[in-house]
Structure 1
């Protein structure tokens, strides 16, 4: 028997039930409203600076260039620009960009791991703020100015080349090559790898590393079995922060690479700024984002498989070989 059907209740039970339900719904609405207001800056930023620009680029990619003097038209929608974008030139440039992005991310990781470990573990706390400030110093200068500085350093007439010739070596001749681009992207994006790694290692503390040493593990074993697994979130964050913007970088390639260090960002920029073909440039940009997302997804799946294999191997060892 329900509240409304209880004898002698006079409908008070039903009204009570409706009152409790209304109060609960009111509280839920208040919480949702408070959450929406508190999260307004976040979702507004994502909406106006991420979703809307990507939607516009996607919309432009279905258009075409109507004539020599017009940049874009969307009165006839088609996938023709994607077919044009997937030509051998685009695919070759993308593979070159992917190589530079992967190699640059790996080099940044190799440099950042020991430096972040020294910063979080070995360096005295009173000097860490100064060291972090020195890591961030490059960001106090404009990205283009920093890259132009490397153009001077890597020039065949620069001081590095002069010093090499003074030592009897050949002059430095890497400017306007893919090697110069590789050096430039590692320099420009290295801090984005160091900072997440430092935060992850600093939060992990020293107790587990000390316990590993007390149990007889040497430094190498502690590094691979304790320190790096604890720093895994920082490694993942740093790799994403470096790889994704590096794939779309065109300033470094334009200043240091020339024709030999061409990257996909230059192709996209040239379609907008030089060829005035916004539809083709948008299609290239969409393909770049799609290929980058696929690459990240593949690496994530491989990492998960490796992690699962390591955990399974540990369980087998702990259980004495049982499955």
Structure 2
């Protein structure tokens, strides 16, 4: 009997797989379809365009493409992209947080699913089609311009297309749901008893929000910022359809180098710079968040008043 038990235990130990096996397919996918393509782009960025008929040559590696990528025109486009991304992400946060807070704390559970469905419904439509919809709305002959003229608010057609404002409006619309969903999940999981306890202890709504709700919602805020800022910075469809020359973004410039100019070396160098800009901005945001948390922790330290110290 003891031998059978020992044999069964040995058999169970033999078929037990290491823990990393379950994550192996995801790591293989990440390596093949993300890491290797990025490394290949980095390698192409050190190449050059040999002639008009060939897009790339890597027999002589150099930094010439990076030197060309840092020209004044490209730097202006990259700085404009960073400004549009930061403003767009901030607007998404300012719009999404009140809505997610209202949805998580004020709306009955029966209607939450309906409203969340309305938030997600635009994602069932192609990204390009959604952006073309804004092209129709904002055109001089579109419904927005027609209504403003009919109501007497404007005497001439409204020209919003091919401007930076149109791009800003388009990116906020396209990425707003990516901010709402993580914020709602975080706020919905907060225990209402904590807010009630804060009120019972004499804190007003502003203090309760600042010291209870906002710190506990920080994971959702960080997740929403990352989900919005990273794809928004690399977006080129919105800028291509709505922006024109005044609303140009780095994604359009990078795509044009690969598809129109056929200069893969310069396009790869610009893509690497764009990736570095995104990672650097995220790192700065992370350091800023860590500094804010440190300041908040220091400000929350409890110090006994002199009377209490004498009593002790």
- With normalisation by structure 1, the TM-score equals 0.87
* Aligned residue number for residue 149 of structure 1: 133
What does residue 268 of structure 1 align with? 254
- Give yes or no for the alignment of 1:209 onto 2:209: no
Partner of 2:55: 71
**Is 1:166 the counterpart of 2:128 in the alignment?**
no
2:93 matched to which residue of 1? 109
Q: Which residue of 2 aligns with 1:119?
A: 103
Matched, 1:46 2:21: no
Distance 1:45 1:203, change over 3 A: farther
Q: Cα distance, 1:49 vs. partner?
A: 2.1
Distance 1:101 1:255 in 2: 17
Which runs of structure 2 are paired with 1:124-273 in the superposition (5 Å)?
124-170=108-154, 171-273=157-259
Query: RMSD across aligned C-alpha pairs, in angstroms?
Result: 1.7
Q: Report deviation, 1:44.
A: 2.0
CA distance in 2, matches of 1:156, 1:320: 66
Task: Provide the secondary structure at the position in 1 that maps to 2:300.
Answer: helix
Match of 1:94 in 2: 78
Cα displacement (A) at 1:237: 0.6
- Residue 7 of structure 2 is matched in structure 1 by none
Are residues 1:292 and 2:278 paired?
yes
Aligned equivalents of 2:305, 2:66: Cα separation in 1: 53
* Structure 1: gaps (5+ residues): 1-22
Distance of 2:47 and 2:79 partners within structure 1: 26
**C-alpha separation in 2, matches of 1:160 and 1:308:** 47
Tell me the equivalent position of 2:268.
Answer: 282
Query: Which is higher, the Rg of structure 1 or of structure 2?
Result: 1
Work out the CA distance in 2 between the residues paired with 1:238 and 1:168: 40
Q: CA deviation at 1:40?
A: 2.1
SS for the counterpart of 1:204 is coil
SS of 1:65's equivalent in the other structure is coil
Structure 2 residue runs of 5 or longer lacking an equivalent are 1-9, 307-312
Q: Hey, what's the Cα distance between the residues in 1 that align with 2:237 and 2:249? A: 10
Deviation at 1:41, TM superposition (A): 2.8
Q: Using the alignment, how far apart are the partners of 1:113 and 1:278 within structure 2?
A: 41
Offset of residue 205 of structure 1: 2.4
The whole-number CA distance in structure 2 between the counterparts of 1:279 and 1:198 is 43
CA–CA distance in structure 1, aligned partners of residues 50 and 238 of structure 2: 32
Runs (4+) off by over 4 Å: none
Q: Give the deviation of 1:235 after TM superposition.
A: 0.3
Residue deviations 1:93-137, cap 9 Å, x none? Answer: 011001100000000000011111111111111111111111101
Q: Secondary structure at the match of 2:18?
A: helix
Q: TM-score, normalized by length of structure 2?
A: 0.90
User: Deviations along 1:1-33, whole A, 9 cap, x unmatched?
Assistant: xxxxxxxxxxxxxxxxxxxxxx9xx97x977x4
Alignment-derived partner of residue 60 in structure 1: 44
